[in-house]
Chain A
Amino acid sequence: MSTPGHESDRTRRHHVRIVEQEQISDGVYYLRVERPFDFLPGQCIAMAMSQISPARYYSLASDPADTEIGILYDLVPGGALTPHLSRLRSGESVWLSDPFGTFVDDEGPAVWIATGTGVAPFLSRARSLAGDILRSRKWLIHGGRTNDRFYFGQELTRRMPDRFLRCCSQCEPSLLPAGSTGRDEFDPIKLPEAGLYRGRLTVWLTQALAARIFEEGSRFLLCGSAGMVVNVRDMLIAAGIPFDRILSEIYF
């Protein structure tokens, strides 16, 4: 078993067996494979169908202590990998590189901000912290267009009560309470009911920063679409957060 960190060789490929694959939302899959290496939450792997086919990068979503590795991914129609990958079943196999990357949280207070499958590194970190997460001073703010875009939302709600917020920019009208405008007011004292804010992540975050609800000295870790990362990073800088406390991960 290889180890995380600088010994990593991303050109090495491990042939791993699929334990299970599940479609967890429209166009979104969670793949579980045997774990051939150790890794740190926040690290990613290159995944391919064979030793020579094109690889794509994914953050690992599982607890590093698990015997399996979890990979959360979007199906990209016409893509080189995911249309094939999404058809694989238990017992079939894929190829993974060694883990690599330095998008790694530390022990201090942190605000994790994600959109879509960008929640994966934070899911891994939350799982690795297990019961310690309640005193670890971490927040997770997850943005999505609709209610079905908050992957592992129930698990995260259970793991991070009062510290996990889903910001739904276009909640389906049928899911809104009677008389609701579809937009929640910001409350600096408590999170909205069920940790669901009906409005844009950036709107909630702007008010949360103004109300100074995050611990002093928190690091901000951003993972998701390029648009979200640059937009939120600008907001944080405008709010006076030093840029050396902002860590951004990009998808490509």
Chain B
Amino acid sequence: MKLPLFGTTLPQLEEIAESMGLPPFTARQIANWLYRKNVRSIDAMTNLSLASRDRLASDYVMGLEDPAKVSASTDGTRKYLYRAGSAGNPGGSRFVEAAYIPEANRSTLCLSTQIGCKMGCLFCMTGKQGFQGQLSATEILNQFASLPEKNSVTNLVYMGMGEPLDNLDPVMQSLEILSADWGYGMSPARITVSTIGIVPGIQRFLSESGAHLAVSMHSPFEEERRRLMPVQHVYPLREVLELLRSSDMPRQRRVSFEYIVFGGLNHSPAHVKEIARLLAGIRSRVNLIRFHTIPDTPLLPATDEQMIIFQNRLKAKGILTTIRKSRGEDILAACGLLSTRELTSPAVAADY
């Protein structure tokens, strides 16, 4: 099977060039074609000799794939469906979704990193489809590179399907390609990686990437968070906070805590007090997110009034708090709603 060129790093391209007997400078030329000139075929790399292109094409493909489907929201959000995971799943069909969210002065692309998710959060539609596979760096970046609106994207957020730090190597590789001078050359300040709080992954992310970090909190209380997010059994929030508190954090790196507000559950004065206590000493902000209800959930959305009261109470404690605007809810592109469950054929029969 031919391997993809797109999604490889410069050192990997140098190895490829060497193994194929191509001149060393070819690697940087290929990177330039892949990530700056955005060509979609090896044949279009016209400053490589024809012989070099033929040799490359004998073992490699570009690895780019156009979206299979697009859904458009009335608010301008577009949800793209991409085929993925075919390498480890011959004959099966697997897909991921990416959400393009245009605003007045910025446009954000929300990327997926896994097919499904293992984390089992109580409030998330992706979690309901279980886990069907990891995305490669090629597949993560293809959601950006093959997006029709690619040139208008100003910000990338790793907040789509899956837990990014549970697929660490491809995610770190994709971040390297996005920010390297031989890659897309994007400022890390335009990229945010979201996690439910996988401590070793955060450690590596902080040491190797300058991108912003978003941590899903959803409750400051251990027992309550455990019921919402099983990961709390393994990586309690206090360990995440200890790590952030003890890490050197450059001023340009933003740490935010994502907080879905569930009606009647996690927005009391006691929650405000505990959040303020936990976040003391961590330069951060809290993003409040409206809960987009999903089937069979025991959780309720908070009202607008509850959201605003909660926001004001957090602000009164000195915590920079925003309410994130919901986008793309009508096409199931909003936070927590991405799912390709209906489109994903299982690799093996269920054991339950």
Contact = CB atoms under 8 A, between A and B. Distances in A.
Interface of A: 44, 57, 100-103, 115-116, 143-145, 149, 167, 169-170, 200-202, 224-234, 237-238, 242-244, 246-252
A73 to B, nearest CB: 16
Nearest to A228: B352
Given A230-B127, A248-B230, A252-B119, A237 B296 contact: yes
Closest 5 CB pairs between A and B? A227-B130, A143-B352, A228-B352, A248-B230, A234-B296
Interface in B221-269: 222, 226-227, 230-234, 236
Nearest to B130: A227
Contact of A225 (B127, B231, B297, B352): B352
Given A149-B351, A243-B227, A252 B127 contact: no
A252 B297 CA distance: 23
Nearest to B346: A227
Contact of A100 (B122, B222, B234): B234
Interface of B: 116-120, 122, 127-131, 163, 166, 222, 226-227, 230-234, 236, 295-298, 348-352
Contacts of A232: 352
B226 A102 contact: yes
Contacts of B119: 226, 250, 252
Nearest to A43: B233
Contact of B351 (A116, A248, A249, A250): A116
A242 B350 CA distance: 26
Chain B binding surface, main DSSP class:
loop
Given A57-B234, A243-B227, A250-B231, A226 B352 contact: no
A231 B122 contact: no
Nearest to B163: A252
Given A102-B233, A234-B128, A237-B298, A115 B351 contact: yes
5 contacts: A101-B233, A145-B349, A227-B352, A249-B230, A250-B233
Contacts of A144: 351
A80 to B, nearest CB: 10
B134 to A, nearest CB: 11
A231 B122 CA distance: 11
Nearest to B88: A78
A143 B230 contact: no
Given A201-B352, A246-B227, A249-B230, A225 B296 contact: no
Contacts of A250: 118-120, 230-231, 233-234
Contacts of A243: 122, 227, 298
A226 B117 contact: yes
A202 B236 CA distance: 30
Contacts of A44: 234
Contacts of B351: 115-116, 143-145, 149, 169, 224-225, 228
A247 B295 CA distance: 20
A151 B121 CA distance: 28
Given A145-B349, A243-B298, A248-B120, A226 B227 contact: no
A248 B298 CA distance: 15
Contacts of B350: 145, 169, 200, 227-228
Nearest to A100: B234
A226 B166 contact: no
Contacts of A169: 349-352
A168 to B, nearest CB: 9
Contacts of A201: 352
B294 to A, nearest CB: 10
A101 B128 CA distance: 23
A252 B163 CA distance: 10
A230 B233 contact: no
B118 A226 contact: yes
Nearest to B116: A226
B237 to A, nearest CB: 12
Contacts of A234: 128, 295-296
A238 B117 CA distance: 22
A103 B120 CA distance: 14
A115 B234 contact: no
B222 to A, nearest CB: 8
Contacts of B295: 234
B118 A252 contact: yes
B94 to A, nearest CB: 14
B227 A227 contact: no
A145 B349 CA distance: 8
Given A101-B234, A102-B226, A243-B227, 15 more contacts: A102-B233, A145-B349, A169-B352, A202-B352, A224-B352, A226-B119, A226-B120, A226-B131, A227-B131, A227-B352, A228-B352, A233-B122, A237-B297, A249-B233, A250-B118
The listed residue with most A CB atoms (<10 A of its CB), out of B222, B226, B236, B352, is B352
Contacts of B227: 243-244, 246-247
A201 B117 CA distance: 22
Given A102-B226, A248-B230, A230 B120 contact: yes
Contacts of A202: 352
Nearest to B234: A101
Nearest to A104: B233
Contacts of A224: 351-352
B166 A252 contact: yes
Contacts of B349: 145, 169-170
A249 B233 CA distance: 7
